[in-house]
């Protein structure tokens, strides 16, 4: 996660990962989900606000708890 970026690229990255979240295969959803939580953890560590638009996450106790623990993050307006 040490790639230099800006707000626009971050939004694009989240959108790409969000597409994987809408996949019907739970394995792909889990991986994209764990990667999103990794990104959120990195960005929150840098004191930046991110909003994640995660729709219909139904991972049945695999990664959903981790997102709830991190709380709802807000994206740059």
Partner 1 sequence: MINFVLLISRQGKVRLTKWYSPYSQKERSKVIRELSGMILSRAPKQCNFVEWRGHKVVYKRYASLYFCMCIDQDDNELEVLEIIHHFVEILDRYFGSVCELDLIFNFHKAYYILDEILIAGELQESSKKTVARLIAAQDSLVENAKEEVSSLSNIIAQATK
Q: Which residues bind partner 1 (CB under 8 A)?
A: 26-31, 59-62
Which is closer to partner 1, CB of 30 or CB of 44?
A: 30
Shortest approach of partner 1 to residue 4 CB, angstroms? 22
Q: Are 14 and 50 in contact (CB under 8 A)?
A: yes
Shortest approach of partner 1 to residue 24 CB, angstroms? 11
Which is closer to partner 1, CB of 60 or CB of 68?
A: 60
């Amino acid at each position: 996660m040490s790639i230099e970026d800006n707000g626009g690229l971050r939004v694009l990255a989240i959108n790409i990962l969000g597409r994987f979240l809408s996949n019907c295969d739970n394995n792909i959803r889990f991986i994209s989900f764990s990667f999103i939580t990794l990104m959120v953890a990195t960005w929150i560590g840098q004191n930046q606000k991110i909003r994640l638009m995660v729709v219909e996450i139904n991972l049945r106790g695999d990664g959903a708890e981790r997102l709830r623990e991190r709380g709802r993050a807000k994206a740059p307006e």
